[in-house]
Structure 1
Amino acid sequence: MQPQESSVQYSRWDDRSRDEVHVAAGSSAEAPWSWERISRKLCSGKLGIAMKVLGGVAVFWAIFILGYLTGYYVHKCK
């Protein structure tokens, strides 16, 4: 197991009434396939546009089929 790299950043504001300390783990602590990375990849650029178009087409057909089946059973002759 490798030791985790971390950095500590300390900043003091000019009025000296607020102090901040930031502790951040190194890049090795992050998972290479985090949800943010996946959503950025799938929701931006040409791939994002293609995913939105395919999602819209899938929703259209799902609503169309649901409406067709509902209309068929509502207006079925007895």
Structure 2
Amino acid sequence: MQSQPSGVHYCRWDDSGRDEVHVAAAAPMEEEASSWGRISRKLCSGKLGITMKVLGGVALFWAVFILGYVTGYYVHKCK
């Protein structure tokens, strides 16, 4: 979940003929989002991030391998 950046949006293409200005405020949970952002950056970047991605890939490989093995066993099982 990403918070919308604060800023001003100006819209002059309105059917009413009036110009509109929308002001977006910063999200109130910005502090919580930044802590999740720090955890995400720590786990997904640098040497730790590479290690996590490699371990995740190996785990995914073995999960698919075992699922395929079990499925193949039951599909090709002799009657």
| Same fold, judged at TM 0.5 (above) | yes
Q: Alignment partner of 2:77: what SS?
A: coil
| Structure 1 runs of 4+ with >3 Å offset | none
Question: Which protein is bigger by CA-based radius of gyration?
Answer: 1
Aligned residues with identical type, % of pairs? 83
Letter in 2 for 1:30: E
The structure where strand makes up a greater share of residues is 1
Corresponding position of 2:71: 70
Corresponding position of 1:54: 55
The structure where helix makes up a greater share of residues is 2
Unaligned runs of 5+ in 2: 1-22
Superposed CA RMSD? 2.3
TM (norm. structure 1) is 0.59
Q: How many residues align?
A: 53
Unaligned runs of 5+ in 1: 1-20
